[in-house]
Amino acid sequence: MKKLLVLGTLLFGLGVGSAALAQPAYLAQLPPLIDRELFFGDPEISGAQLSPDGRFVSFVKPYRGVMNIWVKGLDEAFEAARPVTADTTRPVRSYFWSQDGRYVLYAQDKGGNENFHVYVVDPAAEAEAATGVPPARDITDYEDTRAMIYDVPENTPGEIIVGLNDRDPALHDVYRVDLATGARELVFRNEQNVAGWLFDLTGTLRLGLRLDEAGGTEVLRVDGTALTPVYGCNNEETCGPVRFHKDGRRVYMITNKGDDVDLTRLILFDPATGQEEFVESDPEGQVDFGGAEFSDVTDELVATYYLGDRLRIYPKDEQVARDLERLRAALPEGEIYLGSSTKDERLRLVRVTRDVDPGSTYLYDGATGQVELLYRSRPELPAEHLAEMQALRYPARDGLEIPAYLTVPRGVQASNLPVVIHPHGGPWARDQWGYDSYAQFLANRGYAVLQINFRGSTGYGKAFLNAGNNEWGTGAMQHDLSDGVQYLIDQGIADPQRVAIFGGSYGGYATLAGLAFTPELYAAGISYVGPSNLLTLLKSIPPYWGPIRKIFDVRLGDADDPEDRERLKAQSPLFSADKIRAPLLVIQGANDPRVKQQESDQIVVALRDRGFPVEYLVAPDEGHGFSGKENRLAVAVAIEQFFAEHLGGRAQQDMPEAIAEKLDALTVDVASVEMPELPDADAAAGAERAALPEADGSALAPASMTYALTLQTMGQEIALDMNRTIEAATFEDRPVWRVVDAVTLPPQMGGSTALDTFDVDKGTLRPVRRDVVGMGSMSFRFTDEAITGKLSNMGQTLPVNVALDAPVFGDGAGLELAVAGLPLAAGYTTTLRLYDPLMQRVRPMKLSVAGAEAVETPAGTFETLVVQIDPLDGDEGGTTTLHVTTAAPHYAVQGVSKLPAAMGGGTMKVTLTSMSSGGSN
């Protein structure tokens, strides 16, 4: 297959050419080839923590072939350690000790779906025979739920505070959870779109954080069940609380609020009075505030740190200053990271990492100054053969200085080398100096690696961050990568015929964008869980990102805004796939909730259908990045073989049989990939402004109907009854058809009756007004130019003022009345728009008559037309199939709709149980 792909490249005249594939002479000067497993296999030991009482050290190492948690006595050898978890499918990465040292808690998802649950294990409990470890309890055992750990209060060591989105997938309610029993107690019901919470040092909920309508940040004081805004910054600024001061009154906050402030700084803020006090900003004036260290004994601020080209630590306490001086004298040169400590802070774990060392962990005794090596995470990885990472700066085309890191293969001159541009993910993140497995792996194979903190990266101030807004793909963010390539060429470092690009997540997108928008620069590319279509990416954002959704509108764009939509389409590599000239390798996790598999499927199909070289790996048991050992190693094989083929570097020839079998299992025959059913972007764009289909109000007639409703959502089934009346009426002297839906709510929903009154113009069937009362309220007034009104729930009122580019139909009953007046027949199709009050936006839809069918309901047997209504905006919520009477008026007798994520997903089924006509029109 690979020979055929190379041949295809050469036939197109667009590849790197046979001369470029010759083995360059400098390869003989490289250090020995390092086994890929030393880079991407499991570390021998990692993630060590001290128990609060100092009796134990916990860490992560393989157990039965998968990374699990182990525990040993402080004075015991590592060989005496015993495992306390036995996950056989996914490595356990994230864990911590309870405050009293009784339990080890860890978070785990399934297959990379990011629905993390919290598990508790007593390391002193007896091991089970089947697993060889003590039993673990899932204390957040709720289906399709993502748990978020908010606080581990010191004064209630038997409890933790978590967020759970089992009620609403988009919002996390706050609970106290008992570690011994798993019993939970509601602390705050999140119905106000709060994205995060902060607790004081006693474990009391004090502050919330959310985005406002413009994407700015609001800091909210918790006043009982009410939330009071006390601090805010706009959508181009950063602000947020870090930790409460020990006085219990003030809170440390990071902020760059203000026109004359660029870099974030640390302040003390009083939520009661609004007073603030400056604490510190970068003494060198280069980068944002990096972070703060606090004493667990005194609760004082003891150190601050900043991440420039290298890590800088500034002690605020004599003891910490003395500790750092001792550590720097005793440890190898590198970045020092302070890890967990005992409650009395006498003992502390210290980790040292550097460009040629993935991490060594030491035990430091603050009383004696003794430093003892505990372990090296990858002791067999030969540091003497690894490459140095160098910080550099280069000018972008507009003169802005761009920070980056360059890793050049050890033992060779930085001259005319094949280069891999390796953009980071996020994109609101940054690269930093230190060990990077891919940079070292690729350097060992013979490539220079450039990691660029392009504009839009974090850490360099708000001007640099905001310079990336809306600049994906065809804008400055990608230009910074292109200018990095040119810089290396101008410096004589890069062979211009041997430059590739490879990244994950946003870096995968940047790979596709580089190949599509600057095809002359790159000889090959690898996209690892990278989106290809920004429109579908925005429509498939995970529900639990709902509270931060506005960030994407500000920094990437609003897919519902016509102008943004056109730009986003132009910035999507999928729609410029015909410009791609270089071979491409695509890597994807089937369970990825962030960048769904359709993003990779569609670019693979687009290239395959051109007869163009593309290779594809899909892991059925992975999500946004691969965590399984064999999956990681199989990917490493594919990467080094791909680059060796297209850049001319070297590759390890031997491969364990298990990895060869895994690579074969992950490799997808691109001929078998089907284009996913995606929204028709052109139809959506047309539907946003096209004339609405002609609906004939004179075809309607008064009627009374009863429907049985069944809601299936979040594992529950709820049965409801609805009475509907349709009658002629007037509203503000305007003739209307009025439909009133009365739904009797079950006891668990209050037992009251919800009334939905919808008036539509008697001629055109366009909406005039809608009023809903029951479990909150809605009130809207419609014109062809705007929708105004309000939404109210739980004491909160949200004003609605939506400017319309073109008229709309209503949703719900309003849409069903419009459908009743359309000239429906077999084969009929049209596009339309409706206003969705839950999503608070206008949605383009495609309506088609799929056929005719006889339907039997409790109200009788009806000849019906099958009407399919599909959203064109990429969101499945609202997809509806209606069976309507063949004869006009086309009233619904049966239907099923997909509920939006804001309502928990699932379906709603409707069946007519009785119907009568009457009244005058």
Q: Which residues are the active-site residues?
A: 505, 592, 624
How many CA atoms lie less than 13 Å away from 369 in the CB half-sphere? 10
Is 892 within 8 Å of 910 (Cβ atoms)? yes
Residue 23 and residue 498: Cα distance in Å, rounded?
12
* Residues forming beta bridges with residue 393, ordered by sequence position: 403
Residue 24 and residue 743: Cα distance in Å, rounded?
76
Residue 208 and residue 206: Cα distance in Å, rounded?
7
How far from chain centre, in Å, is Cα 179? 29
Q: Please give the structure tokens belonging to residue 689.
A: 């402004």
How far from chain centre, in Å, is Cα 125? 37
Q: Quick one: how many helices (H) and strands (E) in the chain?
A: 15, 49
**Cα-based torsion angle of the residue sequence 436, 439, 442, 444 in order, rounded to the nearest 10 degrees:** -70
Residue that is written with structure tokens 């109000």 in the block: 697
Is 633 within 8 Å of 36 (Cβ atoms)? yes
Residue 908 and residue 898: Cα distance in Å, rounded?
7
Q: At what angle do helices 629-647 and 657-666 cross, to 10 degrees?
A: 80
- Please report, for residues 151, 198, 221, 253, the alpha-carbon distance to residue 269 in angstroms, rounded to integers and kept in the order given: 20, 14, 12, 7
Closest by CA to 518, choosing from 570, 586, 469, 582, is: 582
Supply the Cα-derived Rg of the chain in whole angstroms: 30
Closest by CA to 82, choosing from 13, 133, 146, 141, is: 133
Listed in sequence order, the residues at least 6 apart from 109 whose beta carbon sits closer than 8 Å to its beta carbon are 90, 115, 116, 117, 623
Is 556 within 8 Å of 569 (Cβ atoms)? no
Is 580 within 8 Å of 515 (Cβ atoms)? yes
Distance in angstroms between the alpha carbons of the first and the last residue of the chain = 70
Residue 765 and residue 695: Cα distance in Å, rounded?
6
The single-letter code of the amino acid at 56 is: F
Q: Please give the structure tokens belonging to residue 766.
A: 């366009």
Residue 304 and residue 293: Cα distance in Å, rounded?
6
Residue 331 and residue 499: Cα distance in Å, rounded?
38
Is 355 within 8 Å of 435 (Cβ atoms)? yes
Residue that is written with structure tokens 């400017």 in the block: 803
Provide long-range contacts, Cβ within 8 A and 24+ apart, for 712-718. 712/906, 712/907, 712/908, 712/909, 713/899, 713/903, 713/904, 713/905, 713/906, 713/907, 714/143, 714/144, 714/166, 714/167, 714/169, 714/904, 714/905, 714/906, 715/143, 715/144, 718/746, 718/749
